[in-house]
Amino acid sequence: MSDIATRRSLRADLEALGLEPGDAVLAHAALRKVGPILGGPDTLIDAILDVIGPKGTLLGYCDWQMPEEALARPDLREEAPPFDPATSRSMRENGSFPELLRTRPGTVRSANPGASCTALGGRAEWFVADHPLDYGYGPDSPFGKLVATGGKTLLIGAPRDTMTLLHHAEQMADIPNRRPIHFEAPILVDGRTVWRWFEEFDTATPPAGLPEDYFGTIVSDFLDSGRGRTGSIGLAPSVLVRADEIVPFAVDWIESRLGAEQR
């Protein structure tokens, strides 16, 4: 195997893993794990688009680099940059892949700041349209749409506990004594900054009774059940799963363990 990945070799790796023409796929990538890529990381995006073709859709999870200093400093509120789907940077903790995708010509982005996704391809506009500003991981979100259409999610070298789709499962699960959180953030409305209160289930803290990295355990248990695919993209250990299979599995996994906790 060559020590440098190319568009052709990455395309072959993706096809071997099970990515197909017409797929809608939410991808997470730890680019350094892939190893050297001829042409740089944009070549990986090119390879994914080659495989899924013009009818396929590539999605990335952006979130937002919110100006949190303004929350604690009222004197900074007037100057805090608002969330603008067209220009606001993706959260740094998500790595460079979603920002590379977001800034690629032709991409579109959903309007929910914290749950925002970017999309490129055949059904990109549909995936990001009408993303609810509250409960942004629910059935009408890009994540819910991915499940409804039989899309897939792909981890390219990314840790298994970073599978953002499982926040959708978390929201759909019946979790005892769950309470929403409320937070305020600036968004762009008709060209001006508006501070808006949002309501959401906490995605930063796992439900009581579950460990911090339980998403990774769900993914591993799902793969151990014989579903999903594993392989390598370049040098990166990778995982590909169907959204409409792993989400109900995760909902059952969460509910069974929290039910046991309650007993």
What is the pLDDT at residue 3?
87
Share of residues in the chain with pLDDT > 70 (%)? 98
Q: Which of 56, 23, 58 is nearest to 44 (CA)?
A: 58
Tell me the pLDDT tens digit for each residue of 204-262.
899 988 999 999 999 999 999 999 999 999 999 999 999 999 999 999 999 999 974 44
pLDDT for residue 43: 98
Q: How confident is the model at residue 2 (pLDDT cuts 50, 70, 90)?
A: low
**Does residue 69 lie in a domain region?**
yes
Range 45-72 average pLDDT: 94
Which residues, 6+ apart, have CB-to-CB distance to 99 below 8 Å?
A: 62, 89, 90
The count of domains in the chain is 1
| Secondary structure of residue 147 in the 3-state scheme | helix
Please tell me the distance from the alpha carbon of residue 136 to that of residue 154, in angstroms, as a whole number: 20
Entry pTM = 0.94
- Asked, for residue 135, whether it belongs to a domain, the answer is yes
> Does the residue 240 lie in any domain?
yes
Residue 114 pLDDT: 94
Measured distance CA(13)–CA(250) in Å, rounded: 27
| Domain region containing 19 | 7-262
pLDDT for position 261: 45
Q: Is the pLDDT of residue 263 over 80?
A: no
Residue 1 in domain: no
> Is residue 247 included in any domain, yes or no?
yes
Q: What is the pLDDT of residue 59?
A: 98
pLDDT tens column, 147-166: 999 999 999 999 999 999 99
Which letter does DSSP use for residue 56 in this model?
A: -
Out of 31-40, 55-64, 222-231, 252-261, least confident range:
252-261
For residue 80, the model assigns a pLDDT of: 92
CA–CA separation, 115 and 112 (whole Å): 6
41, part of any domain: yes
User: Any long-range contacts for 191-194 (C-beta under 8 Å, 24+ apart)?
Assistant: 193/78, 193/80, 193/82, 194/82
Residue with the two structure tokens 């759909």: 172
| Summary mean pLDDT of the chain | 95
Task: Please indicate, yes or no, if residue 47 is contained in any of the structural domains.
Answer: yes
Q: Looking at the domain assignment, is residue 2 inside a domain?
A: no
